[in-house]
Structure 1
Amino acid sequence: MEPIAPSGRQLELTHGDSAVTIVEVGGGLRDYRVDGVAVLDGYPVDAMAPHSAGQLLVPWPNRIAGGRYPWNGKTQQLAISEAKTGNASHGLARWSAWELERTGPAAATASFVVRAQSGYPFTVAFGAAYALGDDGLTVTMTATNLSAGPAPVGMGAHPYLLVPGAGGTPVRADDVTLTLPAERMLLVDDRLIPTESQDVAGGPFDFLAARPIGPLVIDHCFAAPRRDPDGRARVVLAAPAGGGSVTVWMDEAWDYIQVFTGDTLSPDERRRSIAVEPQTCPANAFNSGEGLRVLEPGESFGGSWGISPVP
């Protein structure tokens, strides 16, 4: 019997000089290249997804404090999946086999049903439609409540982006010019749970106008995004003159943006790439209610986000 890759079945989408690899485990992104130059800080086929790289985060993104939240007068207790903080992190579907279906040379879908279980007694179907085109990669995510009663739902994604410098070699986070059109950021406690928010204007995390990241450590959730006339918010990562850029855009479904410069990773990974994570709600939304969607039986919601590289 042939060994099975840790990330399961691989499905490659191609369009022109672009190629994207979708994986069965987690239904997420493993690789994205344009003319052979990596856009994603992905991982090889014989490895597990490190640090949530490329994964889809459902039925919640980020963390739930202590894995506990109230629902209908009872306290629900999720398994603790982040031992360091004692939290439940990044949902319930990252390590499960999603169903992949190719819908064209440059298009595919990934689908998975989160079944009712201890700590999350709801049945919710999730889907991600991937499409690779002239303007890059578009990912349309949906959630549908299959339960007999209301269900709390959040969604997110966790791509790490490489910014191509001159000659295609990625530049480090310090040398990236960041445009982040979000007016607020969430402050967190020592368990990385939000406690309050503050305006970014005039502070060290004000990237409303493009400026270099420099040595700034970023591992924060930003909110109140400014949107362009088409309804999209755009986070732009640009290399110095002579290099390229990568834009992560998101429509109105995604009101929160987690940005992470990778400072807690291993020395060879630290600040090598930047995670830009579209989220429909912030950390601990099952407790705070901020941005949380409570779907009625049969109700769906969703939205699109995407990655547009410019070599």
Structure 2
Amino acid sequence: MRPATGEQYELDFGDLSATITQVGAGIRSLRFAESDLTEPYGVHEQPPSACGIVLVPWPNRVADGRWELDGEPRQLDLTEPAKRNAIHGLLRRRPYELVDRTDSTVTQSATIFPEPGYPFLLETSVTHELHTDGLQVTHAIVNAGDRPAPVAVGAHPYLRIADVTPEQLTVTVAARSRFEVDARSNVVAQLPVEGTDFDLSAGRRVSDLDLDTGFADLPDGPVEHVLAADDGRRVVLWGDDAFRYVQVFTHRSFATKPGGVALAIQPMTAPANALNSGTGLRWLEPGETWTVSWGIRPEGFGGEAYLASWG
């Protein structure tokens, strides 16, 4: 039986290993030695709750799947029918084509063809690379059409630390504001987090949180979000200057332990409903290429032996 997510690209570098999928260009597993750094799922499963996939040409939701282009209404397919939204872009269930691979790297590409809701032609690629600093994911988007195109990039990893239940971990997100949403998870306001239960800047126990929340106003420069265990092990999700937004999701119906929590920390270059608000959108000119990177770095999993494994 073929895997539900197409070809499986097994990567290795020292004690790091990963399985990258053809469908959605997703992370099916990421491990340091015997320790899971992301929530894994089975080879014959579809990605549970978008686990590990690439989100392009927009992350998160477009309310009602509707937006306007030059004053003309556009209607996207409603891929979150229960809430009547278009969610997570146009490539989440599409197979990518292999471009190049080595023992520690795989590059895949996918074309976004024009459609009524998104009438643009984009050539996209994503490279997953294991190296001395963990996993680096690099996205490149080329506007292959003849008109400027609005684009944004995101990803949907669920982080963990080996066999420590996520409820026992501490998450730190240095954001100064968050997006309030309605019952359909659509943005209605942007509010400061200082002095509220949404302030994660000093670290909060995952067991105390119930979030599906977008955050903004991150510190200048490359940003880091941290998931930490009490024994000093940490998983750091970092993004370059383009990733000015992040979604934190405490998912209680997808978890390794029934009834537990799976924690998604989703780097995004634009927040929910960006096609309507314009917030964070990058308008690519015809022929222009946009390249952005984010990654996952384990810390404290082996001390000097961790670095020596690549020495």
* Structure 1 and Structure 2 fold alike (TM over 0.5): yes
Aligned twin of 2:228 = 238
The CA distance in 1 between the partners of 2:178 and 2:82, in whole Å, is 23
Aligned twin of 1:12 = 10
Distance change >3 Å, CA 39–CA 267, structure 1 → 2? closer
Runs of 4 or more above 4 Å deviation: 264-271
Aligned twin of 1:43 = 41
Q: Is the 8 A contact 1:253 1:302 kept in 2?
A: no
Query: What are the within-5 Å matches in structure 2 for residues 76-87 of structure 1?
Result: 76-87=74-85
Aligned twin of 2:143 = 145
SS of the aligned residue for 1:51 comes to helix
Query: What are the within-5 Å matches in structure 2 for residues 86-105 of structure 1?
Result: 86-105=84-103
Query: What are the within-5 Å matches in structure 2 for residues 166-181 of structure 1?
Result: 169-173=163-167, 175-181=168-174
Q: Is the 8 A contact 2:60 2:273 kept in 1?
A: yes
- 1:244 CA drift (Å): 2.0
Q: 1:289 aligns with which of 278, 282, 292?
A: 278
Per-residue displacement from partner, 1:172-223 (whole Å, max 9, x unpaired)?
Answer: 23x2112111111111111111111111112111121234233221110011
Distance change >3 Å, CA 138–CA 204, structure 1 → 2? same
1:249 aligns with 2:243: no
- 1:269 CA drift (Å): 5.1
- 1:302 CA drift (Å): 2.5
1:132 aligns with 2:127: no
Which deviates the most, 294-303 or 9-18? Answer: 294-303
Q: CA RMSD in A?
A: 1.6
The CA distance in 2 between the partners of 1:42 and 1:187, in whole Å, is 30
Aligned twin of 1:163 = 161
Q: Is the 8 A contact 2:48 2:254 kept in 1?
A: no
Q: Is the 8 A contact 1:64 1:87 kept in 2?
A: yes
Per-residue displacement from partner, 1:143-170 (whole Å, max 9, x unpaired)?
Answer: 1111111111111000001123xxxx12
Task: Give the TM-score normalised by structure 1.
Answer: 0.92
The CA distance in 2 between the partners of 1:266 and 1:105, in whole Å, is 30
Q: Is the 8 A contact 1:28 1:56 kept in 2?
A: yes
Q: Is the 8 A contact 2:166 2:206 kept in 1?
A: no
Distance change >3 Å, CA 270–CA 91, structure 1 → 2? farther
Letter of the aligned partner of 1:257 in structure 2?
V
Aligned twin of 1:207 = 200
Letter of the aligned partner of 1:239 in structure 2?
A
The CA distance in 1 between the partners of 2:237 and 2:297, in whole Å, is 6
Q: How many residues align?
A: 300
Aligned twin of 2:298 = 309
Q: Is the 8 A contact 2:53 2:155 kept in 1?
A: yes
Query: What are the within-5 Å matches in structure 2 for residues 56-71 of structure 1?
Result: 56-71=54-69
Letter of the aligned partner of 2:293 in structure 1?
S
Q: Is the 8 A contact 1:281 1:290 kept in 2?
A: yes
Letter of the aligned partner of 1:212 in structure 2?
R
Which deviates the most, 247-256 or 3-12? Answer: 3-12
- 1:92 CA drift (Å): 0.7
Distance change >3 Å, CA 294–CA 28, structure 1 → 2? same
Q: Is the 8 A contact 2:9 2:21 kept in 1?
A: yes
Unpaired runs of 5+ residues, structure 2, are: 302-311
Q: 1:193 aligns with which of 186, 191, 195?
A: 186
SS of the aligned residue for 2:217 comes to strand
Percent of aligned pairs with the same amino acid: 39
Which deviates the most, 191-200 or 48-57? Answer: 191-200
Q: Is the 8 A contact 2:256 2:262 kept in 1?
A: no
